[in-house]
Structure 1
């Protein structure tokens, strides 16, 4: 770990080259709540029972699904302490970067909820093969039913 100040460690950049994110393609995203707090609800028998904040996040995912030209949320799921998104970006039509898209979403939901709900940053995975895309779609669909096995469960 490197330090830029004696009290504050610097964050390691985990992103690929910026040019990669400008290309057309699918990206799998995970965005976690602040301190992985289960703000969005609880899962019982494989079904999310959302809180009001969880309902707001879901409504905004629907609204953002086709909000920006060239950027489309193909599939998403709200979990108790994170969300998963499968996003398609068309480089010829996109009016916003992937990072800008996520920042807009996080900012909008934070304002509506009246409090900070998101951790800094997000996790991304560029989908490289059709098989990878199918696996991710199945993962998103089955995620609530496998909540106890999720790496974010109980954190």
Structure 2
């Protein structure tokens, strides 16, 4: 992970995939971003539900918003967005008057 933040109902993060590019990484096992995200959601939901005592309850939304960061400028903008997201959440909660924030 390059940068990440855990929000009350979602996570933002930059995943660095070593060897990513036009050719496959020189490893015996390759996992693309969709598989990495799927595994993260599966294992974290299982652990969250164990802690809550709510086995099988859905934790994460079904879709993801992902894209490839292609340059330093974009990387820096996304890092800034991630760093500032908790403040935006708090402001949104206060402005909307909704417990847990708006969707």
Taking the aligned partners of 1:108 and 1:96, their CA distance within structure 2 comes to 16
Given the alignment of the two structures, is residue 137 of structure 1 paired with residue 79 of structure 2, yes or no?
yes
**Deviations 1:88-129 (Å, cap 9, x if unpaired)?**
112325631111100100000111122320111211122122
1:146 aligned to which of 60, 80, 88: 88
Distance 1:145 1:111, change over 3 A: same
Higher-helix-fraction structure:
2
| Secondary structure of the corresponding residue to residue 127 of structure 1 | coil
Task: Provide the TM-score with structure 2 as the length reference.
Answer: 0.68
Taking the aligned partners of 2:83 and 2:60, their CA distance within structure 1 comes to 22
Given the alignment of the two structures, is residue 101 of structure 1 paired with residue 36 of structure 2, yes or no?
yes
Taking the aligned partners of 1:121 and 1:145, their CA distance within structure 2 comes to 24
Task: Provide the TM-score with structure 1 as the length reference.
Answer: 0.47
Taking the aligned partners of 1:102 and 1:124, their CA distance within structure 2 comes to 10
Given the alignment of the two structures, is residue 128 of structure 1 paired with residue 56 of structure 2, yes or no?
no
Taking the aligned partners of 2:44 and 2:82, their CA distance within structure 1 comes to 21
Higher-strand-fraction structure:
1
Please say if residues 92 and 102 of structure 2, whose CA atoms lie closer than 8 Å, have aligned partners that are also in contact: no
The Cα RMSD (Å) is 1.9
Distance 1:87 1:131, change over 3 A: same
Taking the aligned partners of 1:93 and 1:82, their CA distance within structure 2 comes to 32
Distance 1:93 1:101, change over 3 A: farther
Gaps of 5+ in 2: 50-56, 94-100
Query: RCO higher in 1 or 2 (8 Å CA, sep ≥ 6)?
Result: 1
Runs of 4+ off more than 2 Å:
none
